[in-house]
A and B are shown apart, each in its own frame.
Chain A
Amino acid sequence: MSPKAVQYRANSIIFFKGDKSEWVYLLNAGKVSLNYVDVETGQEVHDLIKMGEFFGVKSGLGRYPREETAVVLQDSSVMAFTPQEFELFAAKNTRIITKMLKVFSNQLRCIHKQVQTLMVSDAQENPETGLYKIGEYYLKNKRYGQALHAFKRYLVYYPTGAYAGDATNKIVQAEEFVSRYGSGAAQASPAAARAPASAGSPEGPAAGASEAPRREKSGELSDTAQQYYNAVSLVSQEKHTEAFKAFKKILEAGGDQEYAAKAEFEMAKCLFHLKQYDSCVRTFSSIVQKFPKHPDLREALFYVARSYEEKGDAAKAGGLYKKITTMAGDDDPVVRRARKALKAMEGQKA
């Protein structure tokens, strides 16, 4: 079995929205557009398929109804793969899968964010309270090993959090229970909840509960990462001044380069929220100069544009929004936001 080449005339349809079929297509020559209505904006979107690009992958492999109508704009030649043929082909061309994984993870991130936005009205637990409550649940249900784990994780992320005192007390309680009755549901080893198999004997038993979170084994959070997450949690509580200070501390400590860079980026965002637009622009400009290929370049530019807009410099803001919309990644949320901002600016002018 091998994929078959199919010719389509201009104005014909390869598949309709709602169709169920397993074919996965590759555009060899011609021009094909995927047409669908954006659920968020209600607008009809036409996505042109690039030559050499696959389409119909999600619906074909997932066996879901087609989400778009594939319209042939010019006489085209496509290869049609069955899922099995596609898998065989992709297995020999791993780059294709990794590229698709990136596209899909981007789409997933996008739709996940949209869902989260609509869920705001739902009484969602904030992560800090949620994590603490998990500990409480397991303690109440006499699953001491698991309670201990949850409380310890709580202290890792929120060493000065609202429940830090309670969590510390409950760790002492849970440890007592563990030593008296075992871990509860199953014999867990609290200190070595996750020891790398190759790392020989795990660390000794858990030290005093009041001990500051210690550096954990490979794969777990470093001190810098913990500080970073604490700062991120401040952002989520909209405590931008405190968050800024915390990020600055990470940057100045100059330890883990990855987290230092992340912290600097977050600092610049905090500056925007603190309405310090000039500083925000300066910080982002320096980041972009340092890392011209920064993975979050679009977001950086977006904040710079918004800062200019807030300062009343519509020309610079508009120019930057336009630039973002021309950057690759059409379904990127930042690109969409930029497009929206541009539209709003144009609306104001009218």
Chain B
Amino acid sequence: MSPAPDLSMFKRFMVSFRKGDIIFCEYEPGDTFYLIQSGRVQIVRIIGDLEKNIDILYPGEMFGEMAILEEAPRSATTIALDDVKALEFNRENFEVLMMGNPAIAMKLLKLFIKRIYDQKRRFMILTLDDTEARVADVFLMLAENQSMDTSAVDSIDFKTTVDDMSHWAGIPVAQTREALNHFVAQRRIELHPDRIVVKNINDFQRFVNSRRKHQEK
């Protein structure tokens, strides 16, 4: 990792949160983004009756950056895991920060690249008409996210749940469960409470490819 950039000139943007404080809630309109200076920040989503950990961010990392794109509701809740100090920026002072700090700008550029790619990948899933193909494609996406070379492995253990799969596939939980049950019946997957084992990921790759080709016709 490159050395932390000198941000002393941005002191006036410093905000602090105590351990346990919510920084922002999912669904709130957002117009600020943050650069962590000290402490850790946990990103969670409440799905059904469970709080799901999405990520834990460390000093030097950013969050809430989608807010500078549009005033869309926040897509997750952020909680200070320790006492946290962060720089808080909005669209107006964003440019000042970027111009004065190429290292941060570059970091954000890479973050945007990743987000664009993630969203495009997600979009590809949603363009599939067939629910089972969508669910299978979610597994492929998850494997790609783990930087797995799917051609080199067969069985993969995914730490995911039906609710998560439903979210990524953009289909209701009941339908997702149905698709997964069908895969279980075909012995293509094993369903556990906290994980799903895909027995032959290449088989899913072929399945999704064929559905996609079929749709293009």
Contacts and interface: CB of A to CB of B under 8 A. Distances in A.
Interface of A: 39, 42, 57-58, 61-62, 64, 67, 87, 90-92, 94-95, 97-98, 100-101, 104-105, 107-109, 111-112, 114-115, 118-119, 121-123, 125, 127-128, 130-131, 133-134, 137, 141, 143, 145-146, 149-150, 153, 157, 183-189, 193-198, 219, 225, 229, 232
B113 A112 contact: no
Interface string B87-129: 0101000010011001101101110111111011011101100
6 contacts: A58-B116, A104-B116, A108-B69, A112-B70, A145-B21, A229-B71
Contact of B105 (A94, A105, A118, A119): A94
A57 B103 CA distance: 17
A299 to B, nearest CB: 12
Interface in B169-215: 170-172
B22 A146 contact: yes
A65 B50 CA distance: 36
B123 to A, nearest CB: 5
Given A97-B98, A115-B119, A188-B20, A153 B105 contact: no
Task: List the 8 closest pairs (A to B, CB-CB), nearest first.
Answer: A186-B20, A130-B27, A118-B126, A127-B27, A131-B27, A62-B113, A97-B105, A104-B112
B interface bracket (residues with beta carbon within 8 Å of A):
35 or more
A319 to B, nearest CB: 29
A91 B102 contact: yes
B156 interface: no
Contact of B15 (A104, A131, A219): A219
B3 to A, nearest CB: 13
Contact of B27 (A134, A193, A196): A134
B161 interface: no
B12 to A, nearest CB: 7
Contacts of B46: 133-134, 137
B26 A104 contact: no
Nearest to A195: B16
Contact of B116 (A39, A107, A146): A107
A39 B123 contact: yes
Given A131-B27, A198-B11, A39 B124 contact: yes
Contacts of B69: 105, 108-109, 112
Nearest to B147: A63
Nearest to B105: A97
Contacts of B31: 225
Contacts of B19: 186-188
Contact of A39 (B72, B112, B127): B127
Contacts of B166: 122
Contacts of A153: 24-25, 28
B101 to A, nearest CB: 8
